Structure 1
Amino acid sequence: MTLESRLVNPEALLSLYGSVPDLRGVAIRSVNLSPIGPTVTLRVDLPSFPAGAPREWLDAGMDAVQCQLAFLDVTEVSLARWVPPTSGDVVMEPYGDEKRMRVSVEGRGVALEFECHDLATLSHVSAFKAQADGTDSGPHRFVSKVDTRLYESLPGTEVYTFYGR
């Protein structure tokens, strides 16, 4: 099964990249564990900037793309290491017989594993200019029209509708 087939809604990435980029060597910006659901949401920077990026992004000097991946019906969570800033590989593999998958996020500063429903939801795709210190502060250009209306940059962590809490 391809990464694209593991996403409920890959259209935003398909329109930018032509295919869903591999999730190896991505910057892991945040891990949100929600008891409502239960859900795990990862905020990651994709490993490359799309060759066919929108003119608006290029004109604004954007050079990185970020998104969130939400995993539902999560069980067996193990967060053994979290020392941000970090990068790593997000791997999704079939697990068991009942539409489940095993997700592992492993890399420098992160070791996370869990089981979940076999599909992830993609959201909050945006472009930004990586700061000299590697942060993602500053303006973001969102793909979603709703996100574009609501946010010019990443909202504070108290905005639970953005971070999936």
Structure 2
Amino acid sequence: MWYEHFTNNKFISMIYTNVPSLKNLRIEKIEISREGDRITVGFDLPFFADEPPKKWLERGYTTTYIEIDFFDIQEVNIKSSKNTYRGDINIKKDEADIFIVNITGTISAEIKAGSGIIQSVRGY
């Protein structure tokens, strides 16, 4: 699964019995920062956590939101013709341990990065 490529994946494994695949997502953001050396991809998972934290339930949250940061950017291509972003995200690593991220849908993007981290998992 996609999350297994990240060392910081324990929390997501704790709140989902079966972590969902990244299909038909609402993509909140693709942000380029640090002079192009970091790209943040933020999206809603397709269904809410099976075992959410107590405070998420108390606050009435129904959506799980993920932000992943990619660093050491080697290549990026982004194309979109709409202002709402929905699509599939495919995250894998190649034989040189480089992240290959492909986003397809109303936005198309390809990111090649040397490292990545699940920066945040939160509810709303």
Classify the TM-score, shorter chain: 0.7 to 0.9
Rg bigger for which structure? 1
| 1:7 shift after superposition | 1.2
Question: Structure 1 CA distance, aligned partners of 2:34 and 2:55?
Answer: 38
Question: Structure 2 CA distance, aligned partners of 1:27 and 1:107?
Answer: 10
Q: Residue in 1 aligned with 2:7?
A: 8
Q: 1:55 to 1:82 in 2, by over 3 A?
A: farther
Greater RCO structure (CA 8 Å; 6+ sep): 2
Question: Structure 2 CA distance, aligned partners of 1:120 and 1:19?
Answer: 22
Q: 1:101 to 1:57 in 2, by over 3 A?
A: closer
Give 1:10-159 correspondences, 5 Å limit: 10-36=9-35, 38-81=37-80, 83-95=82-94, 97-108=95-106, 110-117=107-114, 119-128=115-124
Letter in 1 for 2:121: V
| 1:19 shift after superposition | 4.6
Question: Structure 1 CA distance, aligned partners of 2:56 and 2:93?
Answer: 36
Output the TM-score relative to the length of structure 1.
0.67
* Number of equivalences: 124
For residues 12-51 of structure 1, the C-alpha deviation after alignment (integer angstroms, 9 at most, x for no partner) is 2111113533111111101111244612110111111012
Q: 1:19 to 1:8 in 2, by over 3 A?
A: farther
SS class of match (2:91):
strand
Is there any run of 5+ residues in structure 1 with no aligned partner, and where? 129-165
Is there any run of 5+ residues in structure 2 with no aligned partner, and where? none
The structure in which a higher percent of residues are strand is 2
Letter in 2 for 1:10: N
| 1:104 shift after superposition | 0.7
For the 8 Å contact 1:82–1:111, the answer to whether it is kept is no
